[in-house]
Chains A and B, each alone.
Chain A
């Protein structure tokens, strides 16, 4: 492998110190003179007609500057691409937590007090709470006007709550079933979970003296935000400026247009900047969590474990609006066919409106649900046939030259190698610990695969007169460490130490469109753009040296602060050379490739559990996460992504559930909504298998979303290995395991 000086070195985060000392400036910290605080009145009913809203008392409260209701924002629809969301409820409320009215006041308390004074009369309507109910003939259609909404994924013959039906197919599954020795069918369900970022959604909107809409927002896709706002508000995009600000975690949940349109209308009404910060109870009840789902997997298999056909049917509960899902539907359900060589396969994914909190994206949108289903199912196949689950995976996994079940062809496939490495590192084949009283031990393995997404981004590398360098990027780092790797890459291309390189972020008017963080694309986009911009800047520098020093341009090297002529050893100070430059010494690059990369990355995880057969309690003892990583830019950052991602996967598997009863979220705080703490995390091994086959100039592969999905099925598989029960519903609580054990041994 090529070796670098800075890339590949464990490198602490450039933004670490400011974050841990509290110096980092998040949206809520941005202070503009005269800023008002906004709060919204939210619907207490899952589905109802609004009969009357009385805001008189709220308006009279001293300190209140504006009160808006649906009537003030009529006709405005917004959304990431499918525009079905209203700024404030119009005539109907469709979920508990939907914003019905909003107040801007001198401070948050006054705004809240005014909100409490608003009276709304509702006529409650029968609510539709689950996807299967929503598909019944007699179910009310929640968005009868959906065909008129812009961006509906595919127009429907007649409006249906299943507003999106995505079908992916290769071959003919029926032929496959005819050839199978055995048909195995299972249905799995997964709970709604929240991204759990520390910083709640917040935004600040100010209409400046030039009528520009200045926005600060906890949003990782500022250019989409800009465009989406412009479209929704009917103003030219150039009029919107999204300013860089630190983002306090995202995990998929910070890419949608949020309260910015509402703050815009409040700012317009009051002539003041307006800030809105959700509290965490609002986050847990009315943000954009991961879709709960029900996925049925039907496979035809041969006795030797070969999967010949696979039919997937998945129902994803979108809730009341799809505006927060970038495409309107999830891209991930296709992962339910696994990274397997299956001749005939079909995935049918239905996205269904219900009267529940709208769902959005979360780390691998649709993948954890899909992969939990298929990777649990593969173990059922193996156990049904009396085969080792790891062997069944090795038998079916795509190898170099194989297309996957949906006909997609990836290169540099390290699936089998990653499985072998995970089995080895975890001691998968060693006998499990002997039973200890009521406790039984088991191991489970699961696999996932994902290629980084494509996109557009921009970078510029500029030498300052003092010899330091600034790299400009259009990416807003949502917390994943992109600025640190950008600095590393620039350092290696230029031949400078990273300490002399700063990373600065462009606000939206300064560059063309940037796709934003997501789809595990940051390293891919940044590596291409920064590499090219840094090379261009270096070329400009060498041209300058050639001109001013008379050196041959191909005989020059930069060694941090000194330029050296390689054939004679002559040296020149970088700063004194730059002082003589008449034009900026700079290089820039635009990256534009919106297709998925044709190199994918495998993740194989092995869980070792102890199951208490008397209580059903599952303890995760050891967890091994092995990654087909390409070139790791920053081992510290890579490992951080693996550990954090695996932890989210473990939470999804064992404890997290944003529970809803009668339409109401019943876990509105972190006391009730359980995310794992460090004390729940077992001994964890994070292993990267590096190779030169990755993407772009540094041979990278994605890592942001990869570590999340296989964790839950690995745990479920380990539980079956330990105690012989199959848990098909997430989260796998002790009570579920206990009930399954009781059902098996009454």
Chain B
């Protein structure tokens, strides 16, 4: 329960963080809210020899109106996302999903950038990024690049962020009038999802992101295609688990997770259908 020894550096801004990353290379890990990293370190599942604390970089905590999209700084805490008026009006799905992350203590520490960069299939926010077809701005020594949600999550706790890079911003397309729903199934209140589902329905197109249905956050492409070809919620949701590969663990068997994915997706599509303008 005691992490291995490590050195601690505090970054004043993104450039500083990048130069510290360049200096320490693979040995280093960025520390944002620490709510995923520190538990891993306590169990010695992560043993970084240097922690670069980016948690106090104030100028990476913001929600800006970028015209077609909301621009959210990577270090914005869940609590600030969940209560932000712009997010509530332009991306209510994100506000709702964020408000279901852990408990208030977790939401006051955890950050949107950390949650996405962690690449955990059990996290709620990746499903929103997928459903809303958002993107992530990744900054490295040679500048910034924008990665679409589908390019971002590459494996179990793996993302397309390079060892010398960091997430600096998240972009969420505005979806005025779109229908949406967030469904989270857990074994007790204020807990991680056993399965979750984010849905955004905008006219004929729809986005469906799933929580905990594979080794990485995944999109339910078959459901999206079914909706696009006119299927109703119930029949589109039948294919929610298609191609998925959930784990069997203490909380649920893989088979039950697949069943839950179908039920939650059906409910999400129905609810989104009702709320769409």
Q: Which A residues from 586 to 619 make CB contacts under 8 A with B?
A: 614-615, 617
| B2, A674: Cβ atoms closer than 8 Å | no
Q: Which of B2, B39, B189, B256 contacts A677 (CB 8 A)?
A: B189
Contacts of B189 in A (CB 8 A): 677, 679-680
Interface residues on A, range: 20 to 34
> Cα distance A103–B212 when bound, in Å?
42
Q: Which A residues from 368 to 412 make CB contacts under 8 A with B?
A: none
Whether A672 sits at the interface, judged by CB under 8 Å, is: yes
New contact pairs (16) apart from A680-B189, A735-B252, A735-B256, CB-CB < 8 Å:
A108-B2, A279-B1, A281-B1, A615-B260, A655-B187, A655-B188, A666-B250, A671-B39, A674-B187, A674-B188, A679-B103, A679-B188, A679-B190, A680-B188, A734-B187, A735-B253
Q: List chain A positions with a Cβ less than 8 A from chain B.
A: 108-109, 112, 279-281, 614-615, 617, 655, 657, 659, 666-667, 671-672, 674, 676-677, 679-680, 733-735, 738
Contacts of B263 in A (CB 8 A): 614-615
| B2, A738: Cβ atoms closer than 8 Å | no
> Cα distance A94–B189 when bound, in Å?
37
| A672, B250: Cβ atoms closer than 8 Å | yes
Closest chain-B Cβ to A18's Cβ sits at a distance in Å of 24
Nearest CB in chain B to that of A619: its residue: B189
28 pairs, A vs B, C-beta closer than 8 Å? A108-B2, A280-B1, A281-B1, A615-B259, A615-B263, A617-B185, A655-B187, A655-B188, A657-B250, A659-B250, A666-B250, A667-B250, A671-B39, A672-B250, A674-B187, A674-B191, A676-B188, A677-B103, A677-B188, A677-B190, A679-B103, A679-B189, A680-B188, A680-B189, A734-B187, A735-B252, A735-B256, A738-B259
Closest chain-A Cβ to B11's Cβ sits at a distance in Å of 27
Query: 5 closest pairs, A vs B, by CB?
Result: A679-B189, A279-B1, A735-B256, A680-B189, A614-B263
> Cα distance A666–B250 when bound, in Å?
8
Which of B2, B188, B191 has the most A CB atoms < 10 Å from its CB?
Answer: B188
Contacts of A666 in B (CB 8 A): 250
| A109, B2: Cβ atoms closer than 8 Å | yes
Nearest CB in chain B to that of A113: its residue: B2
Contacts of B252 in A (CB 8 A): 735
> Cα distance A657–B188 when bound, in Å?
13
Interface residues on B, range: 10 to 19
Nearest CB in chain B to that of A661: its residue: B250
Nearest CB in chain A to that of B192: its residue: A671
Q: Is the interface of A mostly helix, strand, loop or mixed?
A: loop
Contacts of A671 in B (CB 8 A): 39, 192
Contacts of B103 in A (CB 8 A): 677, 679
> Cα distance A679–B186 when bound, in Å?
13
> Cα distance A672–B259 when bound, in Å?
22
Contacts of B191 in A (CB 8 A): 674
> Cα distance A6–B254 when bound, in Å?
58
| B256, A738: Cβ atoms closer than 8 Å | yes
> Cα distance A735–B39 when bound, in Å?
28
Nearest CB in chain A to that of B267: its residue: A614
> Cα distance A109–B103 when bound, in Å?
31
Q: Which B residues from 71 to 90 make CB contacts under 8 A with A?
A: none
Nearest CB in chain B to that of A679: its residue: B189
| B2, A112: Cβ atoms closer than 8 Å | yes
> Cα distance A23–B240 when bound, in Å?
54
Contacts of A280 in B (CB 8 A): 1
> Cα distance A538–B196 when bound, in Å?
67
Nearest CB in chain A to that of B262: its residue: A614
> Cα distance A108–B1 when bound, in Å?
11
| A733, B259: Cβ atoms closer than 8 Å | no
Contacts of B187 in A (CB 8 A): 655, 674, 733-734
> Cα distance A574–B263 when bound, in Å?
74
> Cα distance A312–B53 when bound, in Å?
60
Contacts of A614 in B (CB 8 A): 263
Nearest CB in chain A to that of B253: its residue: A735
CB 8 Å contact bits of B1-26 with A (1 = contact, 0 = none): 11000000000000000000000000
> Cα distance A667–B2 when bound, in Å?
18
Q: Which B residues from 24 to 49 make CB contacts under 8 A with A?
A: 39
Which of A112, A279, A657, A734 has the most B CB atoms < 10 Å from its CB?
Answer: A734
CB 8 Å contact bits of B235-254 with A (1 = contact, 0 = none): 00000000000000010110
Nearest CB in chain A to that of B259: its residue: A738
Nearest CB in chain B to that of A666: its residue: B250
> Cα distance A659–B188 when bound, in Å?
17
> Cα distance A677–B187 when bound, in Å?
11
> Cα distance A18–B77 when bound, in Å?
33
Closest chain-A Cβ to B74's Cβ sits at a distance in Å of 25
Contacts of A676 in B (CB 8 A): 188
